[in-house]
């Protein structure tokens, strides 16, 4: 019996934090030696399976690994295959490199240089932002940053929204950059608890909330209204000092740059990015994208339909038991809300 030949067609795939390595069965081999590395230089033996596949569950999420395999029998061990790399990530997540390969496969452009790697990455980032915006607008509160706390100064009516530099007034930690507003709360009695919701004002009616300029009550609550103006939260009337505001918002999407950077598909919706990036590349090539366009629209429809049932525990049409008249928090300033 001769030393077996080097295994062929080795493939590495990842899902759910695991890496699946497979290869073709090698004639005369009685077992295989699978090795792994974190730098593609120093390899250690990971397993010696007797079948032509292995599932690696011991890797660290977000770490790039290289795998290679050799065939073994009683006469010796073959040379190793060329090492292939992959990054294990969590469920519903893919790396930039994996998304790019999937998009190239969908466009049938794996070995084509017509679209460069930087171009592919720009297509993917644009498609990723489109998916994020679609999910934010459809699901509304799926993406949620830690609420950002502000303390009013007594002289300013405008407060800059979190931009990745500003620190939270309560925790002192840097807040994630702002993308879209979900709502604003006001703390009672100049404190960061017992929050009540404040409402947005119509720009055309902005002066109706200013006069008379009664800035607070015994509970530290007043007829405050807000509006996002550019990169700031505008309040009317100008609040008294020491008021706590809690801003609920959707953070800005973090863009992938390196091939190992992770992209959160949220329930597997990264297929949208794959298809849309493939469409962009094929449009540059002036190829027909009709079929992929139909697949993209089907995904959008599925996203919109699935959003209806995201929270199946309780419907969104909940009776407002406080809307019974006599209250400070009427959106029309007429006391039509009950409660505070």
Q: Which residues pair with 180 in a beta bridge?
A: 250
CA gap 93, 61 in Å, rounded: 11
For 76, the 3-state DSSP assignment is strand
CA gap 177, 2 in Å, rounded: 63
Q: Which residues pair with 56 in a beta bridge?
A: 19
Q: Structure tokens of 234?
A: 């505008």
Per-residue pLDDT 10s for the chain (340 aa) are: 799 999 999 999 998 999 999 999 999 999 999 999 999 999 999 999 999 999 999 999 999 999 999 999 999 999 999 999 999 998 889 999 999 999 999 999 998 999 999 999 999 999 999 999 998 888 767 788 999 999 999 899 999 999 999 999 999 999 999 999 999 999 987 888 889 898 898 888 777 766 555 555 555 555 788 999 999 999 988 888 999 999 999 999 999 999 999 998 776 799 999 999 999 999 999 999 999 999 999 999 988 887 766 666 665 655 555 544 444 444 444 444 433 4
CA gap 41, 24 in Å, rounded: 24
CB 224 within 8 A of CB 239: yes
Reported pTM = 0.79
CATH architecture label of 11-86: Sandwich (2.60)
The domain ranges of the chain are: 11-86, 93-140+266-307, 148-251
Where do we find the tokens 């009013």?
Answer: 152
Where do we find the tokens 């020491």?
Answer: 242
Examine residue 237 and say whether the peptide bond preceding it is cis (omega within 30 degrees of 0): yes
CB 97 within 8 A of CB 79: no
For 116, the 3-state DSSP assignment is coil
In angstroms, how far is CA 278 from the centroid of its own chain?
A: 21
Closest CA to 340 of 180, 226, 220: 220
């Amino acid at each position: 019996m001769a030393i077996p030949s080097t295994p062929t067609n080795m493939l590495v795939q990842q899902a759910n934090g695991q890496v699946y390595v497979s290869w073709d069965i090698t004639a005369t081999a009685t077992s295989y030696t699978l090795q792994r590395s974190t730098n593609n230089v120093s390899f250690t033996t990971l397993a010696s399976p007797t079948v032509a596949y292995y599932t690696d569950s011991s890797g660290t999420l977000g770490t790039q690994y290289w795998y290679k395999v050799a065939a073994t029998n009683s006469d010796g061990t073959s040379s190793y295959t060329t090492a292939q790399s992959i990054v294990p990530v969590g469920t519903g997540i893919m790396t930039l490199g994996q998304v790019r390969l999937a998009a190239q496969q969908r466009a049938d452009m794996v070995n084509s240089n017509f679209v460069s790697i930087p171009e592919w990455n720009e297509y993917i980032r644009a498609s990723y932002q489109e998916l994020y915006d679609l999910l934010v607008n459809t699901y509304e509160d799926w993406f949620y940053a830690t609420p950002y706390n502000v303390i009013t100064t007594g002289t300013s009516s405008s407060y800059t929204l979190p931009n990745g530099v500003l620190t939270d007034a309560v925790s002192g930690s840097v807040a994630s950059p702002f993308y879209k507003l979900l709502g604003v709360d006001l703390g009672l009695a100049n404190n960061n608890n017992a929050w009540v919701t404040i409402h947005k004002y119509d720009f055309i009616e902005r002066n109706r909330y200013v006069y008379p300029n009664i800035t607070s009550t015994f509970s530290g609550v007043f007829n405050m209204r807000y509006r996002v103006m550019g990169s700031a939260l505008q309040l009317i009337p100008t609040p008294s000092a020491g008021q706590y505001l809690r801003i609920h918002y959707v953070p800005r999407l973090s863009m992938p740059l390196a091939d190992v950077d992770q992209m959160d598909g949220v329930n597997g919706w990264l297929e949208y990015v794959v298809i849309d990036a493939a469409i962009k590349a094929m449009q540059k090539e002036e190829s027909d994208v009709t079929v992929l366009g139909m697949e993209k629209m089907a995904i959008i429809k599925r996203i919109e339909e699935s959003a209806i049932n995201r929270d199946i525990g309780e419907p969104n049409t909940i009776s407002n038991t406080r809307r019974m008249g006599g209250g400070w928090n009427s959106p029309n300033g007429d006391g039509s809300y009950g409660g505070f």
